[in-house]
Amino acid sequence: MAGVTREVRSAEERLPDRVSIGVLARSFPAAVLDEVIEAAGVREVRYRRLPARLMMVFTLACWLFMRSGYGLVLSRLADAQALTGGGWGDWQAPGTGSITKAKAKLGAEPFKLLFARTTVPAGTPVTPGVFHAGLRVVTVDGFTLDVPDTAANEGFFGRGGNGSRSQNPYPQLRALVLAESGTRVLLAAAHGPSSTGEQTLAVDLLPALDSGMLVLADRNFASWKLWQAAAGTGAQLCWRMSASFTLPVRQVLDDGTYLSQLNPPSKKDGDPIPVRVVEYSVTTTDTHGVETSELFALATTLLDAQAYPAIELAQLYHARWQAETGIADLKTTIRGGPEVLLRSKTPIMVEQEFWAMLCVYQAIRDLIGYATPAGLDPGRISFKRAFQAAQDSTTRAALSPQPT
């Protein structure tokens, strides 16, 4: 098979590529890549022109150049390294078919393991928006990603929606993330077919919770079973409850909040769980001057009204939009827009892309954190600009196609 044709570009034109790879190298040095490759059991037993480490960097780089084909991405890698003496020499890349096969040999596991290494809280007590009353604030939120319309993807992921008329035009992967407020760094993630409920996926996030956290979640997660499991980690909870959820008034507190309980589906499931309820209305006015009010009911494990004022909890819940902004960064900035599909035509390769996407997101967040002076809000640095910096700035990095 013919090799990939190398695009002829000047050194100045190749500089942005060199730098974007440098951002990846900063977050994912060669030693770390080798460790996850070894742990996943996908280390090559003999020399290949597309060894595992190179293909990991390539797969990550595909998210930096989402609108470029495989051949062009690999050419960019080679061009970037040629400027730094990365040891590529006269190395000739194989064709696109060989690249696809080499990616398939990696599978998804090394990228899942690599992402797990990035899930470390980044905020400090002086980072705005990260802590409240000594608790690290984290948010649970979900999203979907359209994947290529193949029989394999449709059979595994499904199209979502209810009935043929409301089905999505493409199969969809459903994902859930746990994000640190303030920094928007991801602390855990889970995914599944479009038919998988968010409460089901949330169970996979529970191991990331601890007693030093305050977890915010919207009304999609309200259930006695999930609340019991989440509270069992030692974390404090502040979740919006759906209107259909019964919250009996047990005791009205001085600040207008009240003590209530979450009742189990049946007595055999367990005991009622005591909670405090914060109720308030938010009024918005549209462009025509029409006002609309929406009632919010937050249930929390923070029962002390003096230590945890209602107004602060309400403000905290509405600050969770930061996590939604982080998801928008995933779906729009990294993916290249809501209309851009993932590349992979099989479920296992979709999973590989998913974990690689989260790794690149974490690398950009790491870059933002590195560029933010202590005590300043990381949210003041545009994710889109940081992403562009990963493509346009100048950083040295060395990567050789040769295994070491």
Amino acid at 76: R
H/E stretch holding 354 reads helix 347-371
CA angle 19, 25, 27 (to 5 degrees): 115
Integer angstrom CA distances of residue 404 from 1, 107, 161: 26, 21, 49
Phi, psi for residue 16 in degrees, rounded to 5: -60, -35
Q: Is the predicted pLDDT of residue 371 greater than 70, yes or no?
A: no
Q: What angle do the packed helices 109-118 and 52-64 form, to 10 degrees? A: 70
Task: Give me the pLDDT at residue 131, please.
Answer: 96
Integer angstrom CA distances of residue 225 from 163, 228, 247: 29, 5, 15
- Give 382 or 127, the one with higher predicted confidence: 127
Other Cβ atoms less than 10 A from the Cβ of 206: the count is: 17
Burial of 170: CB neighbours in 10 Å, binned 0-12, 13-18, 19+: buried
Q: Each residue of 76-105: pLDDT tens digit?
A: 776 655 434 455 555 566 788 888 999 999
DSSP 289: S
Q: Are 171 and 350 in contact (CB under 8 A)?
A: no
Burial of 315: CB neighbours in 10 Å, binned 0-12, 13-18, 19+: exposed
- Give 35 or 69, the one with higher predicted confidence: 35
Q: Is the predicted pLDDT of residue 358 greater than 90, yes or no?
A: yes
Residues 12-16, mean pLDDT to the nearest whole number: 38
Q: What 3 state SS string does 72-131 have?
A: HHHHHHHHHHHCCCCCCCCCCCCCHHHHHHHHHHHCCHHHHHHHHHHCCCCCCCCCCCCE
Q: Is the predicted pLDDT of residue 38 greater than 70, yes or no?
A: yes
H/E stretch holding 388 reads helix 383-392
For residues 186 and 323, what is the distance between their CA atoms, to the nearest angstrom? 9
Q: Is the predicted pLDDT of residue 376 greater than 60, yes or no?
A: no
Other Cβ atoms less than 10 A from the Cβ of 84: the count is: 17
Write down all domains in the chain, each with its CATH number in brackets. 124-343 (3.90.350)
Amino acid at 220: N
Q: In 3-state terms, what secondary structure has residue 294?
A: strand
- Give 148 or 25, the one with higher predicted confidence: 148
Q: Is the predicted pLDDT of residue 337 greater than 50, yes or no?
A: yes
Task: Give me the pLDDT at residue 329, please.
Answer: 79
- Mean pLDDT is lowest, of 43-52, 99-108, 372-381, for 372-381
Burial 344-362 (b: 16+ CB within 10 A, else e): bebbebbbbbbbbbbbbbb
CA torsion 180→378→353→9, rounded to 10°?
Answer: -170
Q: Is the predicted pLDDT of residue 312 greater than 90, yes or no?
A: yes
Phi, psi for residue 239 in degrees, rounded to 5: -120, 145
In this structure, the strands spanning 213-217 and 236-240 are parallel
For residues 295 and 280, what is the distance between their CA atoms, to the nearest angstrom? 6
Q: State the number of CA atoms in the 13 A half-sphere of 11 facing the CB.
A: 4
Percent of the chain with pLDDT over 90: 53
For residues 109 and 40, what is the distance between their CA atoms, to the nearest angstrom? 6
Other Cβ atoms less than 10 A from the Cβ of 332: the count is: 14
Phi, psi for residue 298 in degrees, rounded to 5: -100, 130
- Of 257, 352, 322, the closest CA to residue 63 belongs to 352
- Give 392 or 169, the one with higher predicted confidence: 169
Q: Are 211 and 233 in contact (CB under 8 A)?
A: yes
Q: Is the predicted pLDDT of residue 402 greater than 80, yes or no?
A: no
Task: Give me the pLDDT at residue 10, please.
Answer: 40
Which residues are CB-neighbours of 289 under 8 A, at least 6 positions away?
none
- Give 341 or 337, the one with higher predicted confidence: 341
Q: Which two tokens stand for residue 174?
A: 């459903």
- Of 302, 322, 304, the closest CA to residue 239 belongs to 302
Residue carrying structure tokens 């303030």: 182
